[in-house]
Structure 1
Amino acid sequence: METKIFQAEELAYAAELLKRGELVAFPTETVYGLGADALLPESVKQVFQVKGRPSDNPLIVHVADFKMTEPFVDKYHPLTEKIVQHFWPGPLTLIFPIKKNSLSAVVTGGLSTAAFRMPDNKITIDLIKKTEAPLVGPSANTSGKPSPTTAQHVFHDLKGKIAGILDDGATQIGVESTVLDLSGEVPVILRPGAITKEQLEAVLQTEVLLDKHLVKESETPKAPGMKYKHYSPDTPVVMVRANDWEQAIAWAQQEQQRVGMLAGPAVGEKFATEDRYIFEDDTVEAATRGLYSGLRALDEAGQSDVILTQVFEESELGAAYMNRLKKAAGQKYFEKN
């Protein structure tokens, strides 16, 4: 199969392919999604096959407006209207109980709930409208590997496996959306993202819980990205605390390990390593935007035996960054002797 890269003016053709049951990757503000018509179970099955993704993993359903959720949702949480008004379109996925048989079990992972999101990307909103159906959209990459933040990342992973990729440049945020479970009485964040617990609580004026449970391989997750290890390159990743860089690099050299560094300019300028990917600046925003690109670049360069990576405080956006980094590293920090 030839995989075409489409520009915005070719959007109508991309929508036609989706209607025919083909797979087309699309841009969002978070990462690129692997699109299929959510109402065509055979197309959705192809998503799992192409990604090599476990079929128990539920998929997020992408909609062009809130009204598109109505044929599927059985009951909305009382806070839904306030949440949608403040955070949609945007990097926030909402989980609701759904009407029986309204969505295929291939989409829901066999659960009685489903996840919905309205992405903050005009091209993709127009794509959904032209397709005249909601789209599933897991990250458009090989399952378990770093998610794609450019069309070129998607092409690298899925060339020859999907019909096309709608290109809208690099994503602005760089990690997947916050997943908020609204199927119970109390809102619970199942996956942290750019919409933080603090932001949600400020708008809702009520407590929002944070589920820190790591799903084992044998368990069925309620939302994507809940597995213990995920987003991992082939090269081992080790997290390094602020005061441990010197010792970490010395350890790697002693072990004759070629070091790849993923960090901000302050760390990058202080320590020379064989291969480096330096974030745009020292903020957590820059680190979050560059995390997946950096892991991919260092891994694909093949010049490192280990990737040493900068950590950030686990608050606000740092919670999302560290959630992804910990899984990429299999929870492994450099530990002093």
Structure 2
Amino acid sequence: MVTIASFSPEVLSQACELLSSGDVVAIPTETVYGLAADATNDKAVAKIYAIKQRPEFNPLIIHCHSAQQAKSYVQFDKRAEKLADAFWPGPITFVLKRYPDSAISFLASSGLETLAVRIPAHPVAQALIKAYSKPLAAPSANLSQTISPTSAIDVQASLGNRVPLIIDGGQTRVGVESTIIDLTEAIPHILRPGGISVEQIQAVIGTVDLSRRAGIKAPGMMARHYAPSVPMRLNAAAPLKGELFLGFGSMDCDYNLSPSGNLEEAAANLFRMMRLMDRQNIAGIAVAPIPKHGLGLAINDRLMRAATRE
């Protein structure tokens, strides 16, 4: 059964225990309610996708308690510093380059070398992230392609018993998602309008790119995707000479996404194993068939993107 509870020291402790065990907690922010999990835990991040029933692995926004914490995982420039000083905590998300040794799950960033980070301006979210001491991946706490929740009751109506704990922080203040700005380009690019207006941003850092680009995906990221440096061959029964074999289920292979055939485990291992295989001197990567249901839909979507040679 799902528990809806007002914030208290006891609820804070319960939330931290759930996060430590790899589970999820629905939390209030100033924008919408978020489905939070430990952003450094692949399996916990996979659970987010499973609960939301997302058909593809789009990047998730990483929530930190301070700019100082965010700087441990992503590389700030002067524009990020100015925007953080002006609007954090608040409803704006920065897309920045991740450090090579960043502990954030590659599943949370869809395998990309960038991360989307923000500092929520809500006392409950702030207290939880500080108490847990690790960043939280937290997309909106609703089923994919449904209306974003602005109250604890909204979360319960959408997710039901899929979430063990919903922390009730009342109605959200902003009610729309955060603005997302890509700061990895020479001219900052607004990927998604949101709680901080374009005019407010321009007043701080000047010109921004407002153009809509093909393939932009929720929560506002461009459709860039991680692809290995060697060819990938999907739905393979066996490897060819020079290939490494990425398996699923009980089989002989070099790496196995899930020997037991568990799609949630496979999702958690996907980007890590692709990167491990890509670092070796090989002709290519052969991938065993993955079931096309549940999280298998998202795994197959990401594999097809990775296999596309642009």
TM-score (norm: length of structure 1): 0.62
* Deviations, residues 80-133 of structure 1 (Å, cap 9, x unaligned): 111101100000000101122522221101111010010110111000111111
**Amino acid in structure 2 at the alignment position of 1:12:** S
Residue 275 of structure 1: aligned partner? none
How much does 1:29 deviate? 0.8
- Taking the aligned partners of 1:86 and 1:69, their CA distance within structure 2 comes to 16
Stretches of structure 1 lacking an aligned partner (at least 5 in a row): 228-337
Q: Which residue is 2:92 aligned to?
A: 92
Q: Which amino acid aligns with 1:86?
A: A
Larger RCO, structures 1/2 (Cα 8 Å, 6+ apart): 2
Q: Separation in 2 of the partners of 1:81 and 1:100?
A: 21
Mapping of residues 128-147 of structure 1, within 5 Å = 128-147=129-148
- Equivalent residue, structure 2, for 1:46: 47
Q: Tell me, yes or no, if structure 1 residue 114 matches structure 2 residue 115.
A: yes
SS class of match (1:31): coil
Match of 1:3 in 2: 2
Amino acid at match of 2:118: R
Q: Does 1:161 align with 2:156?
A: no
Aligned identity (percent) is 41
Question: Aligned match of 2:219 in 224, 227, 231?
Answer: 224
1:26-72 C-alpha deviation (Å, 9 max, x unpaired): 00111000000101110100000000113420000000001111222
Q: Distance in 2 between matches of 1:101 and 1:56?
A: 22
Q: Distance in 1 between matches of 2:202 and 2:54?
A: 33
Asked whether the equivalents of residues 63 and 135 of structure 2 are also in contact (C-alpha less than 8 Å), the reply is yes
- Residues 172-200 of structure 1: CA deviation (Å, up to 9, x unaligned): 11110000111112111100012111111
Residue identity in the other structure for 1:88 = W
Structure 2 CA distance for aligned equivalents of residues 211 and 151 of structure 1: 35
Query: Is the 2:34–2:141 contact (alpha carbons within 8 Å) kept by the matching residues of 1?
Result: yes
- Shift of residue 24 of structure 1? 0.2
Offset at residue 211 of structure 1 (A): 3.4
Equivalences, count: 220
| Letter of the 2:52 counterpart | K
**Matched residue SS, 1:15:** helix
Distance 2:53 2:167 in 1: 21
**Mapping of 1:301-312 within 5 angstroms?**
none
Distance change (3 Å), C-alpha of 1:105 and 1:54: farther
After superposition, residues 243-254 of structure 1 pair within 5 angstroms as none
211 and 56 in structure 1: CA distance in 2 versus 1, 3 angstrom threshold: farther
CA RMSD of aligned residues (A): 1.8
CA distance in 1, matches of 2:185, 2:212: 17
Structure 1 stretches of 4+ with a deviation exceeding 4 A read: none
- What is residue 68 of structure 1 aligned with on the other side? 69
Q: Deviations over 1:127-185 (max 9, x none)?
A: 01111110001000000111001100101111211111111111111110000111112
Structure 2 segments unaligned to the other structure (5+ residues): 223-310
